[in-house]
Chains A and B, each alone.
Chain A
Amino acid sequence: MIDFYSASTRAVDSGRAIEECFAAAFGLGQETNCDVVILHASMGHRFDDLVKRTRELAPSAHIVGASCCGVIGREGVGESMRDVALMAMRGKGELFLAGIDEIYGTNSYEKARELALDLQSKSDQINMLYYVSSGIDIANDRAIAGIESVFGQEMPIFGGTASDDMRGITSHQFYEDQDMEHGAFLIGFADPTLRVVTRATHGFVATGEPFVVTRSNGSCIYELNGKPAWEEYTRRLGLSVDSMCEDTIPIGALAEKLPEDLAREYGNSHILRAVTRRGKNGKMHYTSACPEGTKLWLTKRDEPRIFSEMEKTMASLCDEAQGASPVAVFHSDCLARGRYLLDRIRKEELIAMMQTPLSTEGEIPPWLGMYGFGEFARLGGRNRYHNYSTGLYVLFRD
């Protein structure tokens, strides 16, 4: 049976930050060696120092991680440039890992399939997958399809995409001692006593006339409404064409209409997508494949709806518990919505709305969350990629 230990902290010195996390996760002076450590760190940290100190404290552990725009742990929200959070796991023969580099929007399916095949070769007992990839220049729906081509659509995939401080310039993924900017990794859980319930929610509403994608390739959009995509997109947002992603991301959520049945399950008629990078000649990087003819709506965030949808999501998650207590929670939250949209008080209120119902006798379960570019959660019986949402992945032990 896999055991989970989590902690988060804020410290300038990366090595010391890891020490503090281990002490908090396992208890001061306790054994810190384990089988897998997942790190989430803000961009101000020296990632090589994080990995080095983790290796010293947990010499047997596989180490993976991602850069992000802030962390969420049992300790609450950390959104400085020097926050770090970790989830450590012990489970001999029940945790399997695979990593891959050079995954882009144009090869997301193939590379993700290669990654999944590598993992599958290590165990045929895997019953759920934690997946983290680069948050820039990647077609996440194609990556999901690549993984599903190996493990099948029924295999739950949860996780998120790495980010920087919402600039859309770079994101880091660590796999063992590799620091990648276009990488991805999978953790396969092979503990039959565990099951995962995943949910994503956003609370935005689509507005105005939709854009029509008139020229695209994979996840790259070249033209909207017959005009250079970036020009048309920024014009409609009321921004200068010279604006950068950090200007567009907070207000530029794009919505794709969901079929009726999925909209009912989702509690919202649209699923959201982000533009994570501005390319040359009006090109912009979308977060999933976007065929020509796709209609994309601009959106307006609706704060009361964000809270009401979160309430419904938590009620649904608690229903799924079926009397079991959560043993760990993984959490991916959109940096633009979760971190930048809400003021600190509302943000903490929202996090409390998530953590309180999942606590047992007031104790929050081991919790690893990050503010990143995107979230993976199931919808309509399939794995899906989400943007501008809160993705919660609750592991129950039956």
Chain B
Amino acid sequence: MYGRPNMGHPEQNLLKLLKARVDQFPAVEQELVHVRNRLDREVRRFHDINLYMERLFKQADPQSILKITAEGLVDIFDLEVSGILKLADDGETLLPLANVGPDRPAETLRLNPIWKKLHIQKASGQTPTATVGPFLIDAPGLPQDLAGVIACPSYRIDGEVHMIFWAGITQKNASVYDRPGADQVSSFAIYCHQVINMLNTIQYERKLLRAKETAESASHEKTQFLARTSRKLQTPVKAIIKFTHLAMGHEPNPSVRESLDKIDDSSRTLLGLLDNVLDLTKTDEGSTSSFTGTLDRPNNADLQTDNPAIVSPSATDTPFSLKGSRVLVVDDNLINQAIVESILVRSGIDVTLANDGQEALDALHENDMFHAVLMDCQMPYMDGYQATQLIRNNPRFDTLPIIALTAHALEEDLKKSIKAGMDDHITKPFDPDLVLESLSKWIQTGRFPSA
């Protein structure tokens, strides 16, 4: 291998040969060092890819992402210039999205058809593959001065090329840089692949965000409609109450008086419900951070004007400790159910609904873990008074607090509730804080606090 020694004694020749081998040993050793350095560089590239991805994940706008990605293409792979190109719909024109390097032109470029034929095929779902070789762009100004390039296309879902990531060195500085080599191909493709995935994820997230905004907009419209309708209904209902009072002033006979009382009571209940709906729409609109509407029974001052209801303290701001309690709400009116449920759930209460007295009894028999019952009094099939008596007949429910929730506000009504076995009495429309306060009191202290 090193030539046959042809002079002197064999020992001397052997010595010369050995010395030559000693001299050449560093060259062999250096080859090993080169291999190790190449491995070292590859490891460093993956480390750098991670660093760049961490940096990219912190970016909010796509333009920053593209710019930093292009920087990564030269930095990670120790190259001079780089770019990201987007293929236009005509399949030929390349639009520069970002680039790094001196004097990069910004004009539109065209895809080299030969390169396209060689390297870019229809490849639905294909993982990007980088290639090293003749440059891919047939355009004046940019490619001619490149001495080496590595490129990686990304594909759309239909298999067409979407973007091309490239990096390289110019003829001018070819002596300063290593040419892009085959050992960079896999890590180059991995970097591009990660960036493409990230860009796709961002695009997907934006679609989701748009869908959410559309849904929120529809919900807002619905809420607005409810609010408008409720406000419009308030005026005639107030008029009904007003005229009912006027009619009462004419000393009607007992039968008419009873009818007027019912009209008055129902109208006030209806007005209360409208107020509640308006409060809920305010909450939905995000105008307040919590449930803030008053559920007070409308007073005469309210009846004289269209002023919005007075705002009371927030239910969720109350200091009551009700989280984890379980309450049975009994009411035949679905809107009332919804309102009460909304108030209780916001305070962390687990709510079970029943439509009448019988359903309430069934619910209690099925599950005796309730901490309290909110009981409407007037219900079809079995009213609240009867249901309460039946509950109290069962010793299991001796200590179960039952709170009347009723439109009946007279002293007799209160006595009737207590007589039936109820512990408290709240009139509709109600203040949410009063409901919570009462629940808190009864749940925490129990039915027989003095005992």
Would you call B100 and A343 a contact (CB within 8 A)?
no
CB nearest to A234 among chain B residues:
B27
B284 within 8 A of A: no
Q: Which of B42-93 contact A (CB under 8 A)?
A: 44, 71, 74-75, 78-80
A299 to B24, CA, bound (A): 10
Name the residue among A81, A164, A298 with the largest chain B CB count within 10 angstroms. A81
CB neighbours (8 Å) of A170 from chain B are 175-176
Per-residue A-contact encoding for B76-120, CB less than 8 Å = 1, 0 else: 001110000000000000000000101000000000000000000
B158 within 8 A of A: no
A250 to B74, CA, bound (A): 26
Given the known interface contacts A44-B177, A340-B37, the answer about A12 and B27 at a Cβ–Cβ threshold of 8 Å is no
Would you call A251 and B102 a contact (CB within 8 A)?
no
A304 within 8 A of B: no
CB nearest to B71 among chain A residues:
A12
Given the known interface contacts A12-B74, A44-B80, A238-B23, the answer about A167 and B176 at a Cβ–Cβ threshold of 8 Å is yes
B338 within 8 A of A: no
A164 to B174, CA, bound (A): 13
Residues of B in contact, count (CB < 8 Å): 27
Would you call A237 and B24 a contact (CB within 8 A)?
yes
Of the candidates A44, A46, A344, the one whose C-beta lies within 8 Å of that of B78 is A44
B397 to chain A, nearest CB (A): 69
Name the residue among A167, A208, A239 with the largest chain B CB count within 10 angstroms. A208
Would you call B30 and A250 a contact (CB within 8 A)?
yes
CB neighbours (8 Å) of A239 from chain B are 27
Would you call A340 and B26 a contact (CB within 8 A)?
no
CB nearest to B79 among chain A residues:
A81
Would you call A300 and B176 a contact (CB within 8 A)?
no
B25 within 8 A of A: yes
A10 within 8 A of B: yes
Would you call A207 and B100 a contact (CB within 8 A)?
no
A44 to B176, CA, bound (A): 8
CB neighbours (8 Å) of A301 from chain B are 26
A185 to chain B, nearest CB (A): 22
CB neighbours (8 Å) of A340 from chain B are 33, 37
Q: Which residues of B contact A (CB under 8 A)?
A: 19-20, 22-30, 33, 36-37, 40, 44, 71, 74-75, 78-80, 100, 102, 175-177
Q: Which residues of A contact B (CB under 8 A)?
A: 10, 12-13, 43-44, 46, 80-82, 164-165, 167, 169-170, 207-209, 236-239, 250-251, 298-301, 340-341, 343-344
In the A-B complex, the 5 residue pairs with the closest CB atoms:
A238-B24, A238-B27, A251-B26, A12-B71, A251-B30
Beyond A10-B75, A44-B78, 11 additional contacts (C-beta under 8 Å) are A44-B177, A81-B177, A82-B74, A82-B75, A165-B176, A167-B176, A238-B28, A251-B30, A300-B22, A300-B26, A344-B44
What are 16 A-to-B residue pairs whose CB atoms are below 8 Å?
A10-B75, A12-B71, A13-B71, A43-B176, A44-B80, A81-B75, A81-B79, A82-B75, A207-B23, A208-B22, A239-B27, A298-B23, A298-B26, A300-B22, A340-B33, A343-B37
